[in-house]
Amino acid sequence: MHYYQFNIGDYVSHTRHLSPIEDIAYRRLLDAYYLSERPLNVGVTSVARQIGLREHEQEVGMVLQEFFVLGEEGWTSNRADKEIAHYRSKVDQASRAGKASAERRYNARPTDVQTDVQLTNNQEPITNNQVNTNICPPDGEPADKLPDCQHQAVIDLYHQQLPTLRRVEVWNDARKGYLRQRWREVAAELSKDKPTNGGAVLDWFNDFFGHIQKSRFLVGKVNGKDGRAFTADLEWILKPSNFAKIIEGKYHGSN
């Protein structure tokens, strides 16, 4: 997991007694646990080294004994395991939703137009069909009780997951429209199984940006014939046809 919710009040209520070093150790242990999604090493010395506190092995050991449980595979956290299981469930649900959405768009595509991909002079992939991808929903479009689009939160996830891509400096109405429509599509898919919320949609976008990170082409690591590389940006990613192709993995073939 690259992201997990942090309840400040709950954390403080359980950690008031910790020293500053113990508090740092606990936060780093949680980060390491969530990031790896597996038990921490059995040896305290190894764990202390892993989180950069090798000179404070005693404090690390005290935190492990208080907040974690030592088993055959290493130190585990029951609460973190529940969060990880919940996260994996949402990832699986979001993946199914994304594939279903992409499949519907694919089945609804025109069948009498050519869709070969080519590159422009600046290496941006385009298609030969003339489908208008610049249509944005009006602000007054009903949301059907779906969670409101969290523009800034999605932009923040984009910057965190894809720091090498162009940063968002201007967020105009056209770009808001693209994100609002993609957000509603994802939320609608997620809500088919059970009521969804903004956090679930944000988790989906977090995984989606992680998926983009795995494409050498989209992050500018593949040069064209002129020696220049195409690099995606958030507006390009959110355009309907590009969004669907990314979900389908059509830009991941050269990895």
Position 99 confidence tier, pLDDT thresholds 50, 70, 90: low
Provide the residue type at 130 as one letter.
Q
Rounded Cα gap, residues 12 and 234, in angstroms: 36
What token pair was written down for 103?
A: 């499949």
Dump strand ranges (E) for 45-198: 69-70, 75-76, 117-119, 125-127
Whole-number pLDDT of residue 37:
86
Q: Which residue has the higher pLDDT, 88 or 234?
A: 234
Residue 20 has pLDDT above 70, yes or no: yes
Question: Considering only CA atoms, which of 190, 194, 201 is closest in space to residue 150?
Answer: 201
Share of the chain above pLDDT 70, in %: 78
Question: Considering only CA atoms, which of 159, 18, 189, 30 is closest in space to residue 97?
Answer: 189
Task: Considering only the C-alpha atoms of the chain, give the largest distance between any 2 of them, rounded to a whole number of Å.
Answer: 70
Bridge partners of 229?
223
